[in-house]
A and B are shown apart, each in its own frame.
Chain A
Amino acid sequence: MPIHEKSLIRQENLIEHEKLEIDGIDVSGHWSTFIQTRVVTDYNEDMETEVAALPGGEHIHRCWQCGSCTNACTVNAINPDFNPRYWIYLTRIGMEAELLRDKDIIWQCISCNKCTYACPRDVNPEGVMKALSHWLELKGHTEKSPSMHFDEVFSEQVFQTGKIEEGRTIRRFFARTGQELNQDWLVEMIIRMVRHLPVKLLFAMGLQSVLKPRTRGWGKARDAIHEYVAEKDAEHRKALKLDPPHGPA
């Protein structure tokens, strides 16, 4: 529902007792209806700084709430509850509880970057959405999103070997997200590939998946990347006041 059409009264804030008697008077049912307060009583002032410490969130404080991002948003066109402008605002002033109500849709950003081009203040809303998803995850508010699993599977492989082999990426991604490898569309795709792709290419692809090739002399680069990633990881956890990552910090 678009934000301006939302009712000020939320269903869960309506309290009604089926059986209630006060001072001998029966006020059961709608006679006892009352609405819980929706007053904001404090801000979580750390929230903006924390999100700004994560990649993509650096310029969140620039936002002046014009709404260009939401208007440009691909996902918003399909789901009016997906409202980057609103989430940036909640983060900036620290209305954490309010933001958490939307935690299950924030990760749905498809990174089309239309908002990035629309934003007059160069907030980089797409980056902020990434940082927000990341923040929700690190704080333990959400499970790792499918796209995060994919990113991890993808980058782990690149870090390890300096190369990418799609078959392996897909297998691992499906395994991590608990999906069956035997999916109709995937089977169909493979059948068609076998049918239509040149034999030479198919052979090369098969060889890749069997031999698991590496970039030659990759070891040094791998170590450097791992070190950098660990350093960044520790930095982010520290900014969010979380325990250091596993292993010695």
Chain B
Amino acid sequence: MPKPILVLGAGPAGLSASHALASVGQQVVLVDKADRLGGTPILSGYAKLVPSGMWAKDAIGGMVDRVKGDGAVRSVTSATVQGFSGAPGSFSAKLSNGEAIDAAAVILCTGFTHFDSVNKPEWGFGTFEDVVTTTQVEQMISSGQGVRCPSDGRKPKRVAILLCVGSRDRQIGREWCSKICCTVSSNLAMEIREELPDCHVYIYYMDIRTYGLNEDLYYWRSQEEFKVKYIKARIAEVTSNGEKLIVKGEDTLVKRPITIPFDMVVHAIGMDPNVDNMLISAIFNIELEKHGHIKRLDTYSSMAATSRPGVFVAGAATGPETIDDSIAQGQGAALAALAVANGNRVQAAE
């Protein structure tokens, strides 16, 4: 009997890799450490995804159902891999639930960890209740509760979204751009304006990077249709006067310091490497790249390859990634793993 392919992590990349493999008849074991499938979009309760505008529970939930209903995919939840050995075609993985799995190849879709805003104490998260993260606002929207100040449940009149929290910041060792926060923030700003038309939303930015087609669909649209205000300033600190949050910074376009009251401050948190990456690196004996993400060999000469043959990687495990691209990478990694499972050599480009 042919050996299955082990897919680690059941987020967008893992679900898409599993589905791609199952659709060509390949057996898959899908392992996730959480008690259910879906990965961060489901576990963190995302609202509407960009750029599709579909609700996460529908879009990613649909991918979960598709995999669950597929006989070729066996999913194992609440489990992690604790031991790993073997060579391409005949790996052996030991799970935390005691189970041993023989696999032809492995795809790591272990994703990322949200930046913990407590690590930027000057921006008030953890000190003031009304300083929240984009993830929390996503949850307010997806739960149907609506955007409210956590301190007293009032509707905010003024909301500030601070970009690049945990991104592009040498002070805290995070020199990367998290790629998605600009688009996510402009989307959230529009959702806030839609729910609370009297609420003014300000986005404090260093640069706006809603790359590709999202330029007009998100950045322009938030300005033109939803009157979201963008102010070029990196905020210095968030304090409180007892009643309102006070945001301090410098408006660099007019060269003036600002000290402005807000009801709610939202941190557009970035994507950290998965907190378990050191462990994953040790267990699978693979290299991490300089920022701490799983290192993917160059994409010109290899397919979704890590530093260990037969072990592949897809999605945000390799660095900040969008959901749509994670799904595409999952499909790519599936092809590479399938070649190994079929005993074929993945040829390197010369």
Interface residues of A (CB under 8 A from B): 3, 6, 8, 38-43, 45, 48, 59, 61-62, 64-65, 86, 89-90, 92-93, 95, 98, 121
Contact = CB atoms under 8 A, between A and B. Distances in A.
B101 interface: no
Contacts of A45: 200
A62 B223 contact: yes
Given A61-B223, A62-B223, A65-B232, A89 B260 contact: no
Nearest to B158: A45
A88 to B, nearest CB: 11
Contacts of B229: 92-93
A41 B255 contact: no
Given A61-B223, A62-B223, A89 B254 contact: yes
A93 B259 contact: no
Contact of B254 (A42, A62, A64, A98): A98
Given A45-B200, A61-B227, A62-B223, A40 B232 contact: no
B253 A65 contact: yes
Nearest 10 pairs of A and B residues by beta carbon = A40-B258, A39-B257, A39-B259, A61-B227, A40-B256, A62-B224, A41-B259, A45-B200, A89-B253, A38-B256
Contacts of B254: 86, 89-90, 95, 98
B237 to A, nearest CB: 13
A64 B223 contact: yes
Contact of B258 (A39, A62, A86): A39
B192 to A, nearest CB: 15
Contacts of A62: 220, 223-224
Contacts of B258: 39-41
Nearest to A90: B254
27 contacts: A3-B255, A6-B255, A8-B255, A38-B256, A38-B257, A39-B258, A40-B257, A40-B259, A40-B260, A41-B258, A42-B260, A43-B260, A61-B224, A62-B220, A62-B223, A62-B224, A64-B223, A64-B230, A65-B232, A65-B253, A86-B254, A89-B253, A89-B254, A93-B229, A93-B231, A93-B251, A95-B254
Contacts, number: 47
Contacts of A38: 256-257
A5 to B, nearest CB: 11
A95 B254 CA distance: 10
A92 B223 CA distance: 11
Nearest to B227: A61
A109 to B, nearest CB: 20
A121 B223 CA distance: 11
B261 interface: yes
A82 B49 CA distance: 43
Interface-central residue, B200, B254, B255, by most chain A CB under 10 Å? B254
Interface string B215-241: 000001001100101111000000000
B253 to A, nearest CB: 6
A3 B251 CA distance: 14
A86 B252 CA distance: 12
B61 to A, nearest CB: 36
A139 B256 CA distance: 25
Contacts of A42: 260-261
Given A38-B257, A42-B261, A93-B229, 20 more contacts: A39-B256, A39-B258, A40-B251, A40-B257, A40-B258, A41-B258, A41-B260, A43-B260, A48-B227, A61-B223, A62-B220, A62-B223, A64-B223, A65-B232, A86-B254, A89-B254, A90-B254, A92-B229, A93-B231, A98-B256
A159 B200 CA distance: 41
Contacts of B231: 93
A27 to B, nearest CB: 26
Nearest to A61: B227
Nearest to B257: A39
A61 B261 CA distance: 22
Contacts of A48: 227
A225 B200 CA distance: 38
Contacts of A43: 260
Contacts of B255: 3, 6, 8
Nearest to A7: B255
Interface in B240-286: 251, 253-261
B256 to A, nearest CB: 5
Contacts of A40: 251, 256-260
Interface-central residue, A45, A93, A95, by most chain B CB under 10 Å? A93
Contacts of A64: 223, 230
A185 B224 CA distance: 48
Nearest to B219: A64
Contacts of B251: 40, 93
A69 B35 CA distance: 56
B150 to A, nearest CB: 24
A12 B227 CA distance: 35
B122 to A, nearest CB: 18
A91 to B, nearest CB: 11
B221 to A, nearest CB: 11
Contacts of B261: 42
